Copies of this chain bind each other. A is one copy, B any other.
């Protein structure tokens, strides 16, 4: 599981900082999460192949989380994209994008599907044999969802040299991967654990931005490997968090601690701060395994 931060600063794009966008590589998927202005340029700078993005998840309709979407959708057309693109986001997102495509007389030449969200409880919005994605209802000034990405437990790993040693037919390998005992070519029963090992434990990633401090989300994200949680403010500006419906570094760390996550990544820093060092310092007073997001940073979770 790999996470590329394209942008992690609040409010407006600036000369050297970008609004929220990130790419999660999980199993065979490349998911784009939020798409602030300039995201397509950040994708280029981070050498991420446009054609590998088939799913885009938008948390909410504040500009710093989606103003780059229409440009990316248009650029996909110019790049002669053929494959389906699925966009998940709050109700209204379809109207915003299609209105602009209509008025520019440039509809996409690839299939573009919108999955509009309006539920206030967690919803399973994507699932295949390897990964699932659920909404995490957040509390912000407008309707907002975080997203919970979960790998599924894979098949057992076949030890091919052991299988050969026990003289097992290739036709039975699939059964072995599914955990079954099998009879070999000599009609002996071979216990599964002799020729397979456990699969990698499935990983999970929770993206929570933007939100006021919301302990209600803890049960849903309990035990995730990685939690990205917004931390717009430091303690000096803690009084601004509740009225603007944002969180502090300490509040983000409190959520991470309560949910027993492995790693907390902080982001969505207010651009009033010239350094992020204090975010790390304050969060660490509550929770030890904290990382700072930064534009262009790559996190690898193995």
Contact = CB atoms under 8 A, between A and B. Distances in A.
Interface of A: 11-15, 37-38, 40-41, 44-45, 61-63, 67-68, 70-71, 74-75, 78, 90, 92, 95-96, 99-100, 103-106, 141-142
| 6 cross-chain pairs, A with B, having the tightest CB-CB distances, nearest first | A92-B103, A37-B71, A63-B74, A12-B75, A61-B103, A61-B104
Contact of A13 (B15, B71, B90, B95): B71
A232 to B, nearest CB: 13
A63 B78 CA distance: 11
Contacts of A96: 99-100, 103
Given A38-B38, A95-B99, A99-B99, A63 B12 contact: no
- State the copy count for this chain: 2
Contacts of A103: 61, 90, 92, 95-96, 142
Contacts of A61: 100, 103-105
A38 B13 CA distance: 8
A44 B15 contact: yes
Contacts of A62: 104, 106
Contacts of A63: 70-71, 74, 100, 104, 106
19 contacts: A11-B78, A12-B40, A12-B74, A12-B75, A13-B40, A13-B71, A14-B44, A15-B41, A37-B38, A61-B100, A63-B70, A63-B71, A63-B74, A63-B104, A63-B106, A67-B71, A67-B74, A90-B103, A96-B100
A30 B106 CA distance: 31
A103 B61 CA distance: 7
A36 to B, nearest CB: 9
Contacts of A78: 11-12
Contacts of A15: 41, 44-45
A151 B118 CA distance: 53
Contacts of A13: 38, 40-41, 71
A14 B50 CA distance: 13
Which of A37, A38, A45, A141 has the most CB atoms of chain B within a 10 A radius of its CB? A37
Given A38-B38, A63-B100, A67-B100, 12 more contacts: A12-B74, A12-B75, A13-B71, A14-B41, A14-B44, A15-B44, A62-B106, A67-B70, A95-B99, A95-B103, A96-B99, A104-B142
Nearest to A42: B15
A66 to B, nearest CB: 8
Contacts of A68: 37
Contacts of A104: 61-63, 142
